[in-house]
Structure 1
């Protein structure tokens, strides 16, 4: 029981905090519950298809293919493939997180994993189209021109700054998931 409480302490603290808000101001409490429920529904529509896709990717695409095209010796082609995959992805940022352990188990280079996460956030096609409609093509173009090399450079620098044993530990953790 104690382990369960420790594991879900943040969730339990948020429930207590929500109850306190609800007792202090009923309207704000209702808004908090509506927001939480809306977020839960959104996650339930996004996460199951992602998990199915991950399962299929894990089974259908051999480790050797990932290592060849996105692994340690992939070079510029690995960077381009990573950007392509991340830019055509759909869904919010939290949908990208389940991909990370799968990519690690498949032998994808660490900088390409970092690039995948950054590109998912910043240069996804759906985001660019939304941005063009809201802010305009000029701003979106220049943001893209700055962000594209930026995400590549940040990924490469971050990998270089990390110690090899730290990266190896992350890969070992991914194997146990």
Structure 2
């Protein structure tokens, strides 16, 4: 049963491994090329993602929530749309590097529409890409594609904001009191366990909260700030006899 459970928990990885095995059996050359390509992207991620997590944490600490809401929130309107295009366009690196930053921005008040614009701009109209596009395809092609892409991003970001609500995204600030880990957003980095092992532990590659009767607020604050994807939140106001007992969703075993 344990093996079956592990397979279910890591179903995607199992499917990928099986696909590679089948590929190596059917077409060994293609399998070798696939492994090389995968190795390249894994190496790229290992080089880029730590830097992104550090920058995201610094932005989270240095930029007040009020500023994010003012310039990227729902009330920012045209100003927010313009700034989102700028942020996405001047960014460097693959688009998956934008996901941790967008989680942080959303948690601090950035609107769904502006998050979509940042991600889309990062993916298809960032400046380094446009420079290379001019070099290979010419300025006319680049300019027409840029204009049409910007129009499409504006339209689709508006549609997305109508369909997707704030509460649909993981990492949302919770209104319930106490200590909570959004396990959907948790990436299993184990920083919380390393910094506060008395309170946190890992289960199935996700962090969870241990039962606890007292809390070191200084350590907890450091852990919350250190979390790369901001999946840990704390709100005061629980039963004062056991104010920091996690709810069943956090420590289900």
Following the alignment from structure 2 to structure 1, what is the Cα–Cα distance between the partners of residues 136 and 159?
32
1:25-104 map, 5 Å: 25-104=27-106
Report if the CA contact (8 A) 2:24-2:30 is conserved.
Answer: yes
The alpha carbon displacement at 1:3 in A equals 4.2
Following the alignment from structure 1 to structure 2, what is the Cα–Cα distance between the partners of residues 29 and 159?
41
Report if the CA contact (8 A) 2:56-2:104 is conserved.
Answer: yes
The alpha carbon displacement at 1:10 in A equals 1.1
Unaligned runs of 5+ in 2: 173-181, 183-230, 232-253
Partner of 2:248: none
1:130 equivalenced with 2:132 (yes/no): yes
Partner of 1:169: 167
The alpha carbon displacement at 1:63 in A equals 0.8
Following the alignment from structure 1 to structure 2, what is the Cα–Cα distance between the partners of residues 66 and 18?
44
Q: Which structure ranks higher in relative contact order (CA pairs < 8 Å, sequence separation ≥ 6)?
A: 1
Q: What is the aligned length?
A: 172
**Cα distance, 1:3–1:51 mapped onto 2, change above 3 Å:** farther
Moved more, 1-10 or 99-108: 1-10
Larger Rg: 2
Following the alignment from structure 1 to structure 2, what is the Cα–Cα distance between the partners of residues 47 and 10?
21
Moved more, 133-142 or 14-23: 14-23
